Structure 1
């Protein structure tokens, strides 16, 4: 792993929950505000700096910056200032479940408007983050978005059929391709990270008649969006391997499920012998696309976070040893997030959030931090940070210089 030149300056990435969907009650949610990231952005980025994490997923809220095709990106300025001060390289999420109120995602105008927005966003952010070569996620989790908003009716456009789920997935994939092409009109070297969950569905033990249905769900849910973006399906949309670029495969415990004929499938319980190793699931993606990969999001819950990271890293090393081009692991989110339905804190961040005097204080979950530090030492990814994860901030260039000394991930390969 450490001998292979890489795309990112550090193997560990992180990010911030930035959903801005119209929720099922008709009210637009803003998870950046709900987690206090908008008010603590400078602190949040310094936390990542001190942890030796030099890459973060950050959202551009399309519904808030686009008013009928007129753009105001000035609300991004505090985030850009914070990431520049902390020397953090952003991966910009351009559509994180939310789109402007006046758009229909099934329409041709959605595709055109999204492409124009992506072009304008790239023109705004790329000159302002000089240490970053430019990374974008056009539409986050197309697969989950199509379930959430196309079949379950949780978010706009509030559709509730499997047919609409498929239609939405195809429509969003088409828009993502148009967005990539628009961004590369601004910078032909810009890189794309297409994020979607790793999914595996199995039949109930007593329902062998559902084996084929479960297999179909796995195939369609894991691959359809990536297949369209890379041009394997619906080639008329203009997809290609270069547009797919980097595959971001999210890994959560609820990604392996037991088939249900209606409603969400049921997550397999811990210890279920039908759970497949993460390495095998990554290999299925690798064999299909042969594109660079990251684990786009992963986290355990509560006290299980260190054990989860240990397991993910063991599987990641196995993947690299099997020849997969795994470029990083994104510990997501950096700070905790609320459950969308209940509002309770999930307990999956590097930092927990504790409300004190109306302020959401960032409290590092120390066992999780300790496990991260152990793996950073194991991978020789950092030097000065090894003694104390909350010592003085380290400049990104220090990390890059260490990489040069160790023949790791030189900056000439970031592009």
Structure 2
């Protein structure tokens, strides 16, 4: 049985920090929309009340580097300082779909500017904490390449350029890792992407191959970073440190069709997906995003936790589960209230309502994993 030791708490909280432009040109800023940029200190204090001492949080590059080469840290300092003061471990997202407007993401300049920005961000983090830093350089390389490079759902609104965008994002991630390691050799890196399962409804070879090719595409970002795929790009095993898997209830579907529901005979258990990831890469795993809406929040956390425990029992090194988003947020496309969080929107004093169902399930699962850790420790003598 695997005994996790990487993070300060097994359950983490993730603050939605997307900053992309939608197809209509509007830029989103989820840290502002949820109020976390204003109430970071209160938010971290509230999470610690529920045993959460590690989080995912984000730098908003487009606010920090409005002028090339000039960094204004005022938008992120409250988060950095709050984490240091509350001794909260942070995985810092450096590019969560957004970048400064003056940069052409398709040009080499994007990679170069991002590397310099990443190094500057690492120096800021080092100035405020002696703890080992964690970074997620580019969020969801494979998903972003599809959504922004093939489907024009978000910036850079490309069509038929997904592979090109994927290569550019991989280059940027590798350059950022190199730059950060020049600042702090201790730095750890989480490479985050969704894990999926796709099935064909037809038994014919063509649809079966197409479904499997779609499923295999989930590995492209990690394969490119590690040099398993297209090693001429410069990928190396050391670029793949910690694998962050994002998993929701709609991450399994029929090719060109509906979502496969949990419990259906065609639904692949999450524990099997985790085992495949471990067998393929042999790296520590973080469930970097998972959650559900409304009253399904607790039930979904129960399912994911059960599956993670099963995977750990087989020796899969799952190091943590991140509740994401840990705060309710407005929907990307329509601003609707998305009730996903442990906490809701803040009032004028920064006080947020707690979702008791998710809190209760979180406490049950914390007790479960604490007992499992105790058992694993005892078995080691």
Q: If the length of structure 1 is used for normalisation, what is the TM-score?
A: 0.86
Q: Are the structure 2 counterparts of residues 346 and 205 from structure 1 closer, same or farther at C-alpha, using a change threshold of 3 Å?
A: farther
What does 1:81-160 align with in structure 2 at a 5 Å threshold?
Answer: 81-130=81-130, 132-160=131-159
CA contact (8 A) 1:42 1:79 kept: yes
From 176, 188, 191, the equivalent of 2:188 is 191
Where do 1:1-400 residues align within 5 Å? Answer: 4=3, 6-66=5-65, 67-130=67-130, 132-161=131-160, 164-205=161-202, 209-220=206-217, 222-260=218-256, 266-353=258-345, 361-380=351-370
**Contact 2:4 2:320 (8 Å CA) reproduced:** no
Gaps of 5+ in 2: none
| 1:51 to 1:152, Cα distance in 2 relative to 1, 3 A | same
Deviations 1:181-227 (CA, angstroms, capped at 9, x unpaired) = 1100101110000110001111134876311111001101x100000
Alignment deviations for residues 391-412 of structure 1 (CA, whole Å, 9 cap, x no partner): xxxxxxxxxxxx99x969xxxx
Mapped partners of 1:5, 1:376: distance in 2: 13
Following TM superposition, by how much is the alpha carbon of 1:152 offset from its aligned partner in structure 2, in angstroms? 1.8
Distance 1:360 1:205, change over 3 A: farther
Q: CA deviation at 1:105?
A: 2.0
Task: For residue 95 of structure 2, give the secondary structure of its aligned residue in structure 1.
Answer: coil
Encode CA deviations 1:222-266: one digit per residue, 9 max, x unaligned: 100000111111223322222110000111111112222xxxx64
Q: Distance in 1 between matches of 2:4 and 2:279?
A: 21
| Secondary structure at 1:254 match in 2 | coil
Distance 1:157 1:5 in 2: 38
Give the stretch that moved more between structures: 63-72 or 7-16: 63-72
- Could you list the runs of 4 or more consecutive aligned residues of structure 1 that deviate by over 3 angstroms after TM superposition? 205-209, 269-272, 358-361
Shift of 1:26: 1.1
Distance in 2 between the 1:363 and 1:376 partners? 21
| More displaced 10-residue stretch of structure 1: 198-207 or 240-249 | 198-207
Indicate the SS of the match to 1:217: helix
RMSD over aligned CA atoms reads: 2.2
Deviation, 1:7, is 1.1
* Alpha-carbon distance between aligned partners in 1 of 2:193 and 2:84, rounded to the nearest angstrom: 28
User: Could you tell me how far 1:5 is from its partner in structure 2?
Assistant: 5.6
Give the match's secondary structure for 1:369: helix
Distance 1:89 1:168 in 2: 31
Which secondary structure state, in structure 2, belongs to the residue aligned with residue 232 of structure 1? coil
- Deviating more after overlay: 203-212 vs 231-240: 203-212
The answer to whether the 8 Å contact 2:42/2:350 transfers is no
- How far off is 1:97 after superposition? 0.5
CA distance in 1, matches of 2:22, 2:119: 27
TM-score (norm 2): 0.93
SS of match in other structure, 1:363:
coil
Cα pair 1:177 1:237 within 8 Å, conserved: no
In the aligned structure 1, how far is the partner of 2:75 from the partner of 2:183? 21
Q: How many residues align?
A: 376
